[in-house]
Chain A
Amino acid sequence: MPASQRTWIFTIALIIFNILFFWIKPEGKAMTIVSDILPILCALVALGGTALAVRSFGTGNRARLAWILLLTGVTLFFCAETINGFLEIILNGDVNDGFPILADYFRMTAYIPVLAGLLMLVFGYKKSRFSFGSKRNFIFGLLGLSLIAFTFVHQLLLSILRDADTGNLAKSVYIYYFAGGLLITFPAALLVYISSLYKKAWILSPWRYLAMGLLCLTIFTIEHSYLSWNNTYGSGNFLEVFRNLGYLLVAIGGLYQKELIESV
């Protein structure tokens, strides 16, 4: 059974477990431990998937470089999750205290190579002169996404910026998360759109799942930022399912990329 298929089975099983566990809401530290271990595990799987994708490319070229950048970003996300987990499980700390914490700096740094990798893929596609579909659909989609993104971010971010109790450093980090999330959303959504133009094209499957995964992670990060600021976020929030699913989809994208290259 190909690794991608095994990862799909693992993904479905883990997400079902995640949802059930959070629904049951066990007492004590179990919730914190599971809530912290799951993203570490999922980020590690994502790291493995993207690393295998990088290795499959062989000699250096733009496609390999794009995936190296994505791998770098995923590695930094993994570091952030591990630091979070260490802080909460081993040191019994609260990651919501003293925002931003060390994990946030890893997470913020991750945005840079992830964005660069996505843009390389988008511009590589443009250079290949494959179609972007009908101009009308493309423009409407772009406007629609811009409107949703702007409304979403505007509502959430404005509340934070107006809060006199939130320090300037924290506000800067929130702005960064929101802006970084928005910037990643556009090329990721574009890759999903491109892959929808040719649904049966195996060659586009890696990008489809990679981009869907990154969109899930972005949604989580933005929403998590707002809820944390609002002190309404705690371990066991169902939003975490998005994050875990995001990592696993990234892993599947990487594995599809590896299998695609090996099939040629």
Chain B
Amino acid sequence: MNNMTDSLARRIEIVLTPLLGELMAITTVKLQCSKMGIKPEELGYPDLPTLAKNIERAVIIFLGSDKAKELSQSIVRINS
């Protein structure tokens, strides 16, 4: 088990939780990982841009394109 990637999924959930609530944040990360054909615990930094883009598309109906993009950028910034 790679502790760094466990915490990456968790770190993304933490970014999403203020907006989505914990349950929806966890569900979102799981759902988007499954779309990418990986498990949350397998999530790596190279996967971040794709995951962020998928999450952007998922939340666009709630936030509009500008803010959905900002949210996805905050996810990508987890890498730095």
The answer to whether A202 and B59 touch (CB under 8 A), given A57-B64, A57-B66, A264-B71, is: no
| A58 close to B64 (CB less than 8 A) | yes
| A264 close to B67 (CB less than 8 A) | yes
Say yes or no: is A203 at the interface (Cβ < 8 Å to chain B).
Answer: yes
Segment touching B, from A127-135, A158-166, A242-250: A127-135
Chain B interface size, as a band, is: 20 to 34
Say yes or no: is A137 at the interface (Cβ < 8 Å to chain B).
Answer: no
| A128 close to B24 (CB less than 8 A) | no
Q: How far is the CA of A201 from the CA of B23 in the complex (A)?
A: 8
Nearest Cβ on chain B to A50's Cβ, whole angstroms: 14
Partner of B24, one of A58, A62, A198, A261: A198
Partner of A61, one of B24, B27, B64: B64
Those of A112-147 within 8 Å (CB) of chain B: 121, 124-125, 127-131
The answer to whether A203 and B19 touch (CB under 8 A), given A130-B27, A130-B31, is: yes
- Total of A-B residue pairs, C-beta within 8 Å: 85
Say yes or no: is B38 at the interface (Cβ < 8 Å to chain A).
Answer: no
Say yes or no: is A59 at the interface (Cβ < 8 Å to chain B).
Answer: yes
| B61 close to A124 (CB less than 8 A) | yes
Say yes or no: is A63 at the interface (Cβ < 8 Å to chain B).
Answer: yes
Q: How many residues of A contact B (CB 8 A)?
A: 29
A121 / chain B contacts, CB cutoff of 8 Å: 61
The answer to whether A203 and B65 touch (CB under 8 A), given A198-B20, A198-B24, is: no
Those of B19-36 within 8 Å (CB) of chain A: 19-24, 27-28, 31, 35
The answer to whether A63 and B23 touch (CB under 8 A), given A57-B66, A58-B66, A129-B31, is: no
The 8 closest A-B pairs by CB, nearest first: A124-B61, A200-B21, A201-B21, A57-B64, A198-B24, A61-B65, A128-B58, A264-B67
**Which residues of B line the A interface, CB within 8 A?**
18-24, 27-28, 31, 35, 57-67, 70-71
Q: List 9 A-B contacts (CB under 8 A).
A: A61-B64, A61-B65, A63-B61, A129-B35, A198-B23, A202-B18, A203-B21, A260-B63, A264-B67
